[in-house]
Each structure stands twice: as C-alpha cells, then as structure tokens.
Chain A
Amino acid sequence: MDKIFPQNPRQPENLDKLINTLEERVKELNILYEIEELLHEPDLSLDEIFERIVNLLPTAFQFPEICKVKITYQEKEFTTKDFKDSPWALTADLYFQERAIGHIRVCYIEEKPMSEVGPFLRDEKQTLNTLAQRLSYHIMYLKLKQIFDKWETTKHSFSGQRPGEWKIILELLKRTDPDVYFRISRKMLNHLVWEGIAEANDLLQRFNPYVVMEQEENLLGEANAPIKKKESTDINQLAKEIFNLAAKYLTNGEILERIQRWMQEDKTSFLVRTTSDSNSSLTDINEALRRYYQINPEGMQLSPSTLIGVRASLIRRFFTDQLEFINIAKNYVRVRDFYKLLQRMIFPIGSHGKLGGKSAGVFLAYHILQTIEDSQELLSDVKIPKTWHITSDAMIYFMHYNNLDEMLEQKYKPINEVRKEYPHVVQLFKNSYFPPEIVKGIAMALDDFGERPLIVRSSSLLEDRLGSAFSGKYKSLFIANQGSKAERLEALCDAIAEVYASTIGPDPIEYRAERGLLDFHEEMGIMIQEVVGQKVGHYFMPAFAGVAFSNNEFRWSPRIRREDGLIRLVPGLGTRAVDRLSDDYPVMIAPGQPNLRTNVDVRDIIRYSPQKIDVINLETHQFETLEIRELLREFGHEYPMLKEIVSVFDGSLLRPMGFNTDFKKDDLVVTFNGLLEQTKFVKQVNIILKELQNRLATPVDIEFAHDGNHFFLLQCRPQSYSKFTAPAKFPEAVPEENIIFTANKYITNGIVTDIQYIVYVDPERYSQIESAEELKTIGRVIGELNKALPKKRFILMGPGRWGSRGDIKLGVSVTYSDINNTAALIEIARRKGNYVPDLSFGTHFFQDLVESGIRYLPLYPDEQEVIFNEEFLAQSPNALNEILPAFGFLSEVIRLIDVPKIRSNLYFQLLMNGDLNKAMGILMPHGSVQPDEDAGHASFGISYIDHRQWRMQMAEKIASELDAERFGVKGIYILGSTKTGTAKAGSDIDLLVHFAGTPEQRKELELWFEGWSLCLDEMNYLRTGFKTGGLLDVRFITDEELANEEVLAEKYNITGREGIERLLLKNDINTTE
C-alpha cells in the first residue's frame, strides 16, 4: 500500500452551481422517500395513497404554492385542493401490463418564467416520471397480490385431489394475464415433449414461436398493426389442447405444482433475462433488481437453480469471468447482496464495467463468513467498511472526457521515457475533470460518508488474471476528508485521478512488459472505503490493524507448523504491517500457536516491539508516522483498546496496563499481550483464515483493522507470494556433483538465486576450537566478511545456533549487524552421538531476518534421504586468505567458496518449497532460476470434488456415446484419480477398455478416443487453465487379463475389483430400456 497523499487540491469553478443543484435534488428525493413510506404502510388503500400524494407532491416543485396535482386512475380523480388545469403542466402516465391505466398531472396555476421544461426543471420532470413508475409497480404488486390471494384461497377450498383445480387457476390466469397464460402453456408443452410424449411433438410443430412473439408485442401495444384475432384464437385453442394432453399423461397434482412454479418464475423472468444478457448495461441490471425487489417485497422465491443462475450472471457482470471464482461465489452471494452493492456504485450511463479483483475478494470473503455457523460468536463483530465502488469503465470514460486517450498508448513507450514522463502524467490527470454523472456519484458518496477519512484503493481487473502478485503495484491513497463539502469533493476527485494515473506508472508497466501483458486492456475499478478507526486527539486511526496469512512462511520454532498461519500486527493504520519495515517491527503471531511468541527475553520483546504508528492527521490532512510513545504521552487516555495493546515496563517486568497508568511517566510497550490473552482476537483470525482457505480452496491472505469495537475485513485474496516468498520449482535433472545439499525438515518457501560466495563454518572444526577467544574471533570474521562481500550475493552456513547468547559453543557468536548483508542463513545440526542438537530458527534476530528478507533454513545432514556434499564445502579452494588475509589462520574453520570461480561459472541457488517440505542447494548457471512471483498460480481454486465430478460425468458421457458393437468393445472401466476422488485440475481421466474386436476396429476406436481426448482437454483448459495435450489415458485390456486379478494388479496397478468401476455403454442403456 503506498502511503502517498494527493497533492495540491485545486478549486473548480462550477462547484457552487453543483451544490445548488444538489440541494434541489435533496428536496425531490425527500418527497420520493416520503411516498415510499406511504406505499409501505400496510393498511392504506390505493385511493388513500393517491389522496395523500396529491397533497405531498407540490412541495417537490420550485413553486409549491401555485403547484396543483391531479391523479386520474380508473375513472376516479384525486386532486389537490383548488386544482385547476392550466397550460403549464407536466403529465406522467400510470401503467399496468404496459397499458396506460391513469395519469398524474402537475400544473402551475400561474404563469412562471420559462425554464428547462416549460416552467419546470428537467429534474422535476424526471422526479414525476420516477414517481409514476413507482406507483405503476405498486399497482401491479397489488394486483398480483390479489391474484395470489385468490389462488391461495382457491387452493384451500379444494382438497388438492379435485381434478378441475388447476383448470380454475388457468381460467383465472387466462383472463387476468394472458401473456403468462401463453407462456405457461408453452412451458407445459416443452415439458410434455421432454417426457417423451409423441403427441406433444405434433403440437410443437404447430407452435410457431414467432406467432407468440408477435402476439406479445401486439398486446404490449407497440405494434402498429391491429391484433389478428384468428391467431389469438389459434393459440387459445392450442393451449387448450396442450392442457388436455397434460391431463392425459400427468396427475392433477403434478400439473398444479408445475403451473404454480412457472407462474412464480414468470414473475421474475425479467431478472433472469436482464442479468444473463451480456448486452444489458449496469443501469439495466440496476433497474431489473430494483423492480424485482419492488414487486417482490417479501422476496417471492426463484427456483433454486434459477437463483444460482442469476447469481452466477451477476457475479460475472459485477466482478469477473473467472470460472473458479464464479463457481465458489455463487454458493455464498445472494441476489439481494448485489442489490445492496448497487446502492453504492458509481458508473457511467450504459456501463458494462466491473468492480475489479480487490472488490470481488472482500465481497466474497465477507459473504462466506456470513454463512459460517458460529456457535462461539467468534465472527459476530466482523464487518466490512462502508465502501463505494466506481466501475472500471469509468476510468476510460474519464480519459475520453478529457481527451487523454493517447495516454493508453503510454505503455508502449520505452520504460525510461515512461518513468521520466510519469510526474507530468500525474499532474495532467489531476488537472482533468470528471464527467458530471461521475461527479454526482462521488458527491453522493461523500454525503454518505460524512467527514470520515477515506482510502481510495485501486481494484484492478488484472488482479484476477495474475493472482495477487500484481496487487500493490497500483496506488492506494488516504485522504483526511475534512472541511467543506466542496473541498472534500475536490480532494476525493484528485485522489481518484491520481490512482487512475498510477495505471500508467512505470512500475506496473514494467511489470506487465516483463510478463507479456502489455496488450491486456487494463481497466481499473476504484474502491472508496471509509478508514476504519477513531479519533485520538486530532489524529485518526484504527486501534490496531494488520495482515494475516493462512500459511506461515516464517516459522520461528519447529513447533509452529506451516498451517498455523501468521499475523503481522501493528497499532494504528495497517500500512506498517503490509510492507517490510526497515526501521521498525510489527508484532508477529502464529494464530495456530499463539503462545509461542517470537521473543522471550523481556529486553528482546521491548527491542522488537513497534515504535511507530501510522495515522491520519485531521488538522494537516496528512498521512503521518508518529512515535507511539509520544502519541500515547499526549492522548493515551483516548486511545481505544489500549489495555489490550500495550504493557507497562517497570524496569524488570512487562505488566498489563492498570487503571493508574501514567501516560506521561510510565514506559508503555506495544506487546498486544492483552489482545492475545484476554480477547477472542486470535481465535477469530484463526477461524477466518481456516474457513476462507477451506471454502476458497486456496491459502489466503487478509488485511484487517479494528476500531476498538469491530473487526473489519479490508481485503481477502489468494495468499500472495510477491511480498514475502514464493514456493520454488525444482529443476528436473541436476547432476549429482552440483547438488550441495537437500533438506526435508521445517522447510518454508523461498528462493535465493545466483549466489557467488558460500561462507561455510565447518561444524566439525568449530567444535574442536579450544579457546573462547578463538570462538569469538570466528564471529568477528563473519562480521568482517559481511562487510567485505557483495551484499546479498553470499550465504552463511554453519553449525548450531547463530547469535545465541550465553554459550558460545552452541553456535557462531554474531549479532545481527554481523550478518545483515547475507542472502540466507543456514544453520547446520550435525548428529552428536545419539542426539541431534536443536537449531535456533534464527530466533536471536528473527524479526530482523524477516524485515530484511534474509532467508533461513535449518539443515540436518545426518538425516535419512538427504544429500550433504561435505566434500564440496570442506575441500573446495578457500578464498578467505585473499579477502581477509589477517584471518588466514582461521581458514581451517571458515571456508569462503567463490562458486563460479571453482565451478566454471556456476552459481549457488537455494530453492525452498514449503508445500513439498523440500529444499535444495544446487549449482546452476547465472540466471537459470527465475524468482517467479506468479508461481503457484495464486487464484481461487476448484476443489477436488469438482474435478472428480466433472471427470466422472465426462467418462460416463463417453461410455454412453460409445457404440460397442461398431468398435468391438465389451466394457469400459474408470480407474485412477477420477475413481479415487483425488483428481486435480490437471489430472488425466484413466479409462480401461475391455476390447475384443479386430485391429481395424481398434484403430478406429483409438481415433475416436483421441478426438474426445483433445476436446476434453480444451474444455478442461477453459475450466481450469490447465492444458495437458490430451485428457484421456486409455488402455486396452483383453478377456483373459480382465479375469486375472494378478495381471490387473501388476499391469494396471489396481488392487482388486474395487479399484475400477464399469461404466454404462450406449448399448447397455438401450437394452435396459
């Protein structure tokens, strides 16, 4: 997260006017809200509602005293007192079933100067239209409700067995809503055809869909030609026939149930149509959702499958096409959630934009957490901050609007040019104007937020594609959001422009260029999020914040397992937890082992405690970094949850903060002891990490903040490797002499490449040193080498616990400054007699190692199945004498190996993969190992079950399509990972074909399978992104082999008959019928 503030707010001239217009809008909106409330009063009749509206409505207009209203509805009239018609009027029709059934007329009874629409404002006309539409929906709702009520009573009055029951409903429907009647008839016909009823097929021939369409259009009253009666009768006749046929084949109950379901579906079909149509804009979707909830205030049910379909479409429209994401999200996100989301979205008219990866991640994570059964109330205070979204296409719109289109080509310029021009580009963006509807949206967002500090975050579409590695390349800006509305609007627009500009900044462009992604059309959504926190003095910040990871890549004790996770926790804004710090330390906790702390000694706890805090200064409107002690001295009594955050150091002990604590005098140390010991926080983070990892089928990382009352989830994404570490991939064949060591215990992820020097302290020789002086000298020589060797181009290897205090024999005596330039620290534990000593895991300077990115690896050379090339380490020529001649006498103990010099231009490469619990130190040419940030493809995964299910379905499909007689096949069996349920995204489908045909048949059959194999591979690629060149692994087996279990076991590695499963062939299926 960049912590940069937008610079130089600039004053726009048209702002006053904008504010005036907004005030006028507020008046109108108020009226709309009041009317909305009226409509929700359960006991009001339609007449009463109209009575009230005619008296309310005039206040929405500029000149209420001369404004009069009349509503005409079904021969009835409702008017404001003293209504008289005049030429200065607006009219809006009321509709039912797309037919006018009345109107609202607003008149000024005196002449007023001409304005936008006669004497009226354009917005006033708009308000009236909106109102008319809203009333139309309400009328529709009341009518539908009548039908349903009638139908319910009808249902009750029958026993459910009477044959004519559904006929009554149909009759009712035919009269009240012929469209639905026809559509249901059509659906019944389809159903009958599916059921395989031959007569239905005949009917289908006569059912020309165009006729119905035409019919519909005519009914809608939009066609110019008069309705052709003949066709209508035709269709009525047809419908009758259909239901006669249905009555013949289906039970009454069945017909009733279907009619009931289709009627419900029909009422909401517009939603399905709108959401699934890729042409519908966000405005259309917004409208459809609004309508859906207006006509269904009680939430009439969509059928479960339709519902999931609608969810999937909405997810695709709002977030991403990525199938994995949709596949998971559709189970957790409800349609209503999108409806809510839309209330806080800003988008251009006709927008087809999306919200981007960051928005998607947190939205999904939050809704997953909502579904978790939470008997311990661990998640009851989890929230997400109030967020407004700007869709991705708003950025392009902004650029068009300001004629900045050519900026899109910026990415093709040489990188140094991009870098040079970037500051000017930022200024250019910041001095550009936002299109008015976007400004309007932003202004609304500001009203919603109030004077609350905000963070403007980018939410890039590329993040979907690259996994999380790409995140952090774009800017996030804090703004204090204080002052007059005009100032705040200005500052917010400025920040958004700056974030937009960061898409064409040099760093992301370089990154994309390296990965061949320049041509990807980058669009970026914006999240405007309120900053979680409270006021402390004139500062604003959360009580604490941090990041948490499912996988712990920095274990400071062998008792901590990788899956115990990691939390990096800081007081104040989370900016200090996200990035590695050079001058400070976050508190680290493994949520699975919260009691094993990184530091034990009181002095170390203090030494490695956070000293600084990031805050927003509400007076200067700046993002600032303060000394915590100074902040607390002044405002300690205001700081939320301070008791949980700090301990008091009394010279010997760290004690919990007491009631009597003196902020001016006492030594307060940030330990988070109270938070860990007295609150549910760790359990909370643990369950969040675990549940999200399970349901998203990938390790995750989250950002969070706590304002003293609630835990806010700020971000969730597949666990990123970029910031800390990626799992290494191992090269296939490394000549044995080039392997220096392998390891298989306590491995974390990490890659260290192209190391020139290995500094090796020989464990055997070290243990033979007799004098303490000499042992200490070893430490000093390491310190000298640390200064003499090129930074991060060497590694340190040596026995025991480095930096250990108390007993020098246990390990090389160094402090952090003696090793701070190394790329990796490797501690070696040699077996001594019958025990292997413990290693330190770098604990003595653990947090320094983490913050400076020094990798740590424990090595156990005497374990089984590991390689330790002692010859190379102990026998290679020693360069110590050349670099530090003064210490040449120690060359027996300290060996400095110049790798490329003695192994013809090979370099040392350290590859560590925590997933496989495997590490290797090998020699390879320079540059042959790429630290691959995208490794592991961090994206939401498909769970095993899905992979298996799909493969099983496909296998069944193949079998059912196979003409056994034509190919001479007796049976097909499934085996392998699909059978055992362990199939992964790239797994084969293993088939065993019991074959008894001729060689010609066999050839033909192989071709047939190959076609399938390639098709399935393509399908799998689209599903998962894995391409293998053919997904089927087909083997042929003879009668004798199949009968012989031994052969099965030996040749096909199948234990017994349970290992395989016979699939139904096409011919089998036919015969069973």
Chain B
Amino acid sequence: MSEKSFNAFEMAQKQFDKVADMIGLDQATRDLLRNPLREYHFSIPVRMDDGTVKIFRGFRVQHNDARGPAKGGIRFHPQETIDTVRALSMWMTWKTAVADLPLGGGKGGVVCDPHNLSAREQEQISRGWIRQIYKNVGPFADVPAPDVMTNAQHMLWILDEYETLTGGHFPGFITGKPVGMGGSLGRTEATGYGVIFTVREAMKHLNMDIAQTTASVQGFGNVAQYAIDKFTQLGGKVICVSSWDQNDQTSYAFRKKDGVNLDELKGITDRFGGIDKEKATALGYEVLPGDAWIEQEVDVLLPCALENQITAENVDKIKSSVKLIAEGANGPTTPEADAVLEKRGIYVIPDFLANAGGVTCSYFEQVQSNMNFYWTKEEVLKRLDDKMTSAFWSVANLADNRKLYMRDAAYIIAIERVAQACKDRGWV
C-alpha cells in the first residue's frame, strides 16, 4: 500500500501539533500527547454458530487519563485499524477536556462486520473482548460506551461479563445503558438542550436578547427537536426547519415566518425526523428546497443534521443578519467555509463544544452509577446547564482575551487542560 494515503491518526497529530505550536508546548509533553499512553492488542476466539472457531482482533487504546478515567466507545468495524482507533482516542481526550469533565480519552474496537454475524456470535465477541482486557479497564480506570455498530445491548453483555469476572456490581463501568439498567434520565434531551445552553450564553456575550431572535435549523432529528424546544422555551423563534424526505430522496425546508410550532410539526413527523410535506402545507408551512434553511434572514443558524453542510459553495448564501452559528451536528462546516465565517466575523460555537451535552450526560451516568443513586431528569438537566455554561465561558473568555477564533480557542483550552494535568502529576 502507498505510504501517502489518508491516515486519520496522522491528521489528528497534525492538528495537535498546530495547537501545540500556538501555545508553545514543551517537547516532552508534546511527545506524551502525540501518542497514546497505553495500547492493548489481543485476540478473541469465538465459537461460531456453525461450530467452527474464528479469531477476532481486539483493541483498547487509552490515549490519556491524566484528568480521570479514560472514556470512549467500542467500535465493531470490519476494517478497523489501530491508527483509526488511536486518532479517535485522542479526540476523546480533547472532547472530555473541553467540557471540563474529570475524564480522559480512550477508544476500542474489534475487527469484525456485524452484518455477517448472528446476535449470538456478537455476544461472544463482546464477552470475549472484556475477558481479554478486564484487568486493564474498570469504572475507575477506563469506561467504554457504544459506538459504531455497537449499541446498549453489546454494552450490557460486556457489563454482565465484567461483573461476573470481578464478582460485584459496577454499573459505572459502562455508559450508554438503558434507563432502569443504570442509564441516566435526560439523555435524549442532553445534546439538543446543551446546544441551546451555549447559544444562550453566547447571546449574553454578544449582547443579544434571545427573545428578540430568530433561528433556522437544519435537520429535525433528536438533536434538532430538543434544540428547537429549548430555544422556543427561552423566547426565541425558529422560523425554518429542514428535514429529509425518504420518499423523494431529498430534503425540504419548512418555513413559517411567525415561528414554527414544534408539537404541531412532531405530529406530522415519522420516526426518522421526516416531516410530511402535504400535511405541513395544510398547516400553513411554506415548503422550500432543502438548502433554503441556510439562506434565511435570521440571527442564528443551527446545523443539526449531517457533516459538511456549510461548504464553500453555499457559505455565501448566509444572510448578513446571521450573527451566530452553533454546530449541533459533528463537523457541519468544511474548512473552506469555516475560513469564510471567520472572516465575516460570525460567532461560531464549534461542534465539540456545542454538542458536548452528550458526553456530559455520559459522565453524569457514570457518576450516578458509581453512587448507585439516580437523579431526576430535572436534576440532570440543571447540572447539564451548569456544566455547559461554565465550559462555554472558559472557551469564550480565552477567545476574547487572546483574540482567537472560537474553534481554535476550544482546542487550545482542551489541550492545555490535559497538559496541565500531566504536569501536575509530575509526568513531564
């Protein structure tokens, strides 16, 4: 294979190097943070349904746990490579740090294609994975969660096997559990609400009155719906929502100038966030082409659907009225478009700050599980608000003080926090 091909880990390292240069990080800390602290590689033998035995390759990478137990998902992926896992574990370290959670970063996985495996075989892989690694992970060392092609079921298998091996109950060892099995309330709301908590704070910072603002939202899934909910609660008005139409294989934007009614829209939406366009018309919504969401005369844009939605081609359609963009989705802005936004002075709350509500709620789940005491939804959401607010101000103040673009400020604050913890511990 060619040496030159795209390598996620190299890319993550490059990004780190750039920030390390900006803050003038010393060489030893750089060397420590450029690579994972620990990597585990192991084999998982599994008796298949047809009686044969197959050996699967498993990984766990703990990039850094200076600030607390490593945290990160387990992926089942057919062509998993150690470089991908390394890169993802590094991103987890920054993600927990920017939200100021007492956690580190990790990632793991198994090279397998669940499409070719029965449920029983997947269970054997999950249990086999933890049997190989249980001495090196745990509620106070390294906490896994569901990720690509794994879900709560896999987590419960892993937890069950772990508890069997260690002889106790440790629900805090895993996050992403169903409510009633050690899961936390407020999980569904967490990301969407979190986005708006940062928006609310950003508006204070920008001297905007949220009750006087309007927003346009891309997407009508879980994140978007709760973002609209909270934004409206706070007095703002969402005037445009776009959603994917499965039948037409395209998206449409639904506009109501005096503000969309969330409950009304939810009533005509299928399970996947698809809004029925006939019914919407009947309810007085204008049905526009899907990309119309971006060209609305609003104060706030909330891209809450997919990555790569604000691109070099459409960034110029953004109206001058737009002062704030909060990235509810992962990576909705391409680098070219990002440069334009920076130049135009639009205030961008970067994705790993804006949607940190999800990982924060995972942290709460872990905390509650360790206490074996579970909070009410109100309590979860209150604490979420506190966490998001303080995370936002750390980044915003840094950006202000050092005249940095928000995205860069977020990275800097994350890396600096991790570097500081390493130093405090006397590692470097």
Contact = CB atoms under 8 A, between A and B. Distances in A.
Partners in one complex: yes
B246 to A, nearest CB: 7
A767 B247 contact: no
B45 interface: no
Contacts of A801: 78-79
Contact of B120 (A558, A595, A775): A595
Contact of B77 (A769, A807, A843): A807
Interface stretch (B146-154, B257-265, B352-360, B410-418): B146-154
B5 A770 contact: yes
Interface stretch (A85-93, A97-105, A831-839, A1029-1037): A831-839
A838 B5 contact: no
Contact of B4 (A598, A768, A775, A838): A768
A820 B250 CA distance: 11
B178 A653 contact: yes
A650 B178 contact: yes
Nearest to A558: B116
A843 B114 CA distance: 10
B11 A772 contact: yes
Contact of B6 (A596, A770, A817): A770
A595 B49 CA distance: 9
Nearest to B114: A600
B153 A773 contact: no
Interface string A400-441: 000000000000000000000000000000000000000000
A772 B8 contact: yes
B6 A775 contact: yes
Interface string B1-14: 11011111001000
A601 interface: yes
B246 A583 contact: yes
Interface string B302-319: 000001100000000000
B179 A767 contact: no
B271 interface: yes
A583 B249 CA distance: 11
Interface string A285-324: 0000000000000000000000000000000000000000
Contacts of A650: 178-179
A601 B78 contact: no
A596 B117 contact: yes
A777 to B, nearest CB: 9
Interface string B40-77: 00000000010000000000000000000000000101
A27 interface: no
Interface string B164-197: 0000000000001111000100011000000000
Given A602-B151, A769-B6, A807-B84, A816 B79 contact: no
B270 A601 contact: no
A150 interface: no
B115 interface: yes
A600 B115 contact: yes
A556 interface: yes
A837 B79 contact: yes
A772 B247 contact: no
Given A652-B178, A767-B2, A596 B116 contact: yes
Contact of B79 (A810, A817, A841): A810
Nearest to A786: B249
Interface in A775-834: 775-776, 780, 800-801, 805-810, 816-817, 820, 832-833
Contacts of B117: 596, 600
A769 B148 contact: no
B273 to A, nearest CB: 11
Contacts of B271: 606-607, 611, 667
B211 interface: no
B393 interface: no
User: Which secondary structure dominates where chain A touches chain B?
Assistant: loop
A651 B188 contact: yes
A556 B79 CA distance: 17
A775 B118 CA distance: 32
Contacts of A772: 6, 8, 11
B102 interface: no
Interface string A261-293: 000000000000000000000000000000000
Contacts of B11: 771-772
B396 to A, nearest CB: 28
A601 B150 CA distance: 7
Given A602-B151, A775-B6, A833-B1, A838 B188 contact: no
Contacts of A774: 6
Contact of A559 (B116, B120, B151, B246): B116
Contacts of B77: 806-807
Interface in B111-154: 113-122, 148-149, 151-153
Given A583-B246, A595-B118, A776-B308, A652 B151 contact: yes
Interface in A599-652: 600-602, 606-607, 611, 650-652
A556 B114 CA distance: 11
Contacts of A607: 271-272
Contacts of B116: 557-559, 596, 838
Contact of A820 (B78, B153, B249, B272): B249
Nearest to B176: A652
B137 to A, nearest CB: 21
Given A652-B176, A767-B2, A557 B8 contact: no
A768 B115 contact: no
A809 B5 contact: yes
Interface string A749-779: 0000000000000001001111111111000
Given A651-B187, A817-B250, A600 B6 contact: no
Most buried by B among A598, A600, A611, A780: A600
Given A559-B116, A768-B4, A775-B6, A651 B308 contact: no
A904 interface: no
Ranked 7 nearest A-B pairs via Cβ = A595-B118, A806-B148, A652-B152, A600-B114, A817-B249, A843-B115, A557-B116
Given A559-B116, A806-B148, A810-B78, 7 more contacts: A583-B247, A611-B271, A653-B153, A667-B271, A767-B1, A771-B6, A809-B6
27 contacts: A583-B247, A595-B120, A595-B121, A596-B116, A596-B117, A600-B114, A601-B149, A601-B151, A602-B153, A651-B179, A651-B187, A652-B151, A652-B152, A653-B153, A767-B1, A776-B307, A776-B308, A805-B149, A806-B75, A807-B8, A808-B6, A810-B79, A817-B249, A832-B1, A833-B1, A838-B79, A840-B115
Interface of B: 1-2, 4-8, 11, 49, 75, 77-81, 84, 113-122, 148-149, 151-153, 176-179, 183, 187-188, 246-247, 249-250, 270-272, 307-308, 334-335
